[in-house]
Amino acid sequence: MVTLPEGKKLELANVRGLLRLRAERSQDGWARLDFTPELHHGQTGTRPFAAATGWMYRTTQEVIPCFAQQFSATLNVGEMLVMTCDRDRPGTLGQSLFQFEDSTGPKQRLVVVRLADLREIAPKRVRTESLRQ
């Protein structure tokens, strides 16, 4: 059972929480990191998707994005962001993201994101003459 912050209770099978990250350079030496929590649940299935080389297959589950809990952080090179949850709040989104149990007992994850470097990545240019041949 997972209780979303808006109070909605969901009974989900095979649930695992993930943080989707989008990073963007905001200015020299700084980057904005946007996080969206997601709940992946249910049976795993293989679904086709289009790739640059043709059709490929990916193993996926149903996904519930938690847009109301999105958050952002702006980091300078060398800075860190540390994330975890409150252990005493069972059934919350935070528990789904950061806590699990294995054969040795309950465990809690600590996620550390460090902005190590900002490099400019130049796109590779393709000559149109070589595509026509």
pLDDT in tens, the chain (133 residues): 777 767 778 788 888 888 999 999 988 889 999 999 998 888 888 888 888 888 999 888 888 898 989 999 999 999 999 999 988 887 788 888 898 889 999 899 999 999 998 877 666 666 555 455 5
Helix, coil or strand: residue 99: strand
- The residue segments making up the domain with residue 28 are 2-132
Residue 26 and residue 62: Cα distance in Å, rounded? 33
Q: Is the pTM of this model over 0.85?
A: no
pLDDT at 31: 94
Q: How many domains does the chain have?
A: 1
Output the six-digit token pair for 87. 């252990």
Are 91 and 2 a contacting pair, CB within 8 Å?
Answer: yes
Rounded to whole angstroms, the Cα distance separating 99 from 97 reads: 6
